[in-house]
Amino acid sequence: MAAVEASTASGLALPPLSDEDAARSQDRSRVHDARHHRRRWRLLWLLVGPGILAMLGENDGPSMIAYASDGAQYGLGFFVPFIPLLFAMAYVCQEMCMRVGAVTHRGYGELVLQRLGPVWGWFGAGDLTLTNLVTLVAEFVSIRVGLAYFHLGAAIAVALGLALVLFTLSGGRYWRWERIVLGMALFNGLFLLAAILVKPDVAAVARSFDFSPFPGGSFNTLLLLLASTIGATVTPWMIFFQQSASADKGMTPRDIKHGRYDTAAGAVLAAIFGVGALVAGAALLTHNGSGIQGFAGAGFPEALRHVAGGAAGAVFALGLIEAGAVAILTICASTAYAAGECIGVSHSFNSSPRNAVLFYAANVSVALVAAAVILIPGAPLLSIALNANVLATVLLPVSLVLMVMLANDKGLMGPWVNKRSTNVIGISVIAFVGLCGAAYGIDSFLQTVHIIGS
């Protein structure tokens, strides 16, 4: 207020509030009102969103197929506790994204450009664009596989995915976009329902939390599934999305505690639903489950129908459609955020299409490119889905390193800079992800040049 009075007194005209400013101010006034009147549950409701969307958005089609593949290949065992462990790692990474976004009010791409230079900024954007395009293709594959169970073709999958992108963009507000996608994301729980419908041995599920038995079989296949499982929990797009969405939502340092609740809730839900997909896939272990490549086409839903009945197959198919659809919306958003941030133009759902042409164009165009690829006949569905996650695992360490650097920038973060324990865990995650990605790449190369056998 003092600044306004000083500017008025000096005769300087203040710039008018943009539509984006007005929309965000309206949202922040509701947060202020809830905090002022100590309406804790309403405050939590107003502030949740980016964390849950990042985590459940990552429970996408390729991820759920990867989890089901783990179950079909190895049954209940190592991967059951491994999935929650990975989401605990994801929480550490995503909490940093949320905190940096809330403190700086800037997206990841914008901050990397400003603080670490254009080389790393554009490298991060290129890294994101590559992984997002491949992953988006896999998301349309997921919808296609789900719809194939109901005897619907690829054209319907493409039309559904693109229609959802256009529909969610039509609201003109971040709040509306977030609530629509959040409502859809909760149907990720269909995978837990699928697990219940296959009637698993609950005692066997509980016993598997001791990380045994460790999976055997082909070492390269194990590395593939290990890398794809890691890529199913933390990816570059999640980093871009949650930090930018936190800024677009208007979060401030006062909101960090609730942002942690939001991120933790997303991690817990995603881990539960991911284990659900694995348990459902484990029903195929004694029915030629090792031949996962044979599940292309109608895929896992059709295989589950033969093993556990039509209800289990239908629920799993609907889950794949939901997983692919939510991921398309969040991944397209992360691409649009990155494009606007790197080029330096408006990049907010609170801006109108006229004022944020690049942001909306990037959101739609990346979906169009991926949709066009899906219409190519004979695409190897399961291979695309699994290797999309592997690619994310290989390219993820660079994004994580840059994120840790931003979170440790005292000039940027002030008192909200990373704690030593957060750095230890973060660096351990980076080393673990890098090691797993490198191990799969080296083993695959050695097999390709026939230095070692398969």
User: pLDDT of 233-274, one tens digit each?
Assistant: 778 889 999 999 999 999 999 999 999 999 999 999 999 999
* Under 8 Å between Cβ of 51 and 266: yes
* Under 8 Å between Cβ of 253 and 102: yes
Torsion of CA 387, 393, 395, 401, to 10 degrees: 170
pLDDT bracket for residue 395 (50, 70, 90) = confident
Q: Tokens 């254009």 identify what position? A: 118
pLDDT for the residue 183:
94
Residue-by-residue DSSP string for 87-102: HHHHHHHHHHHHHHHH
Domain ranges of the chain: 46-448
Kindly state the average pLDDT of the residues 8-13.
46
* Least confident interval from 250-254, 287-291, 314-318, 411-415: 287-291
User: CA-to-CA distance for 433 and 233, rounded, in angstroms?
Assistant: 11
pLDDT for the residue 3:
41
Whether 100 shows a pLDDT value over 60: the answer reads yes
Kindly state the average pLDDT of the residues 300-309.
87
Query: What are 399-438's pLDDT values in tens digits?
Result: 889 999 999 999 999 999 999 999 999 999 888 888 877 7
Query: 260 vs 215, 302, 332, CA distance in Å?
Result: 34, 39, 24
Q: Whose CA is closest to 164, among 50, 348, 301, 330?
A: 330
Query: Domain spanning 46-448 has what CATH number?
Result: 1.20.1740.10
User: CA-to-CA distance for 346 and 336, rounded, in angstroms?
Assistant: 10
Query: 102 vs 27, 105, 252, 365, CA distance in Å?
Result: 15, 6, 5, 29
Percent of the chain at pLDDT above 90? Answer: 43
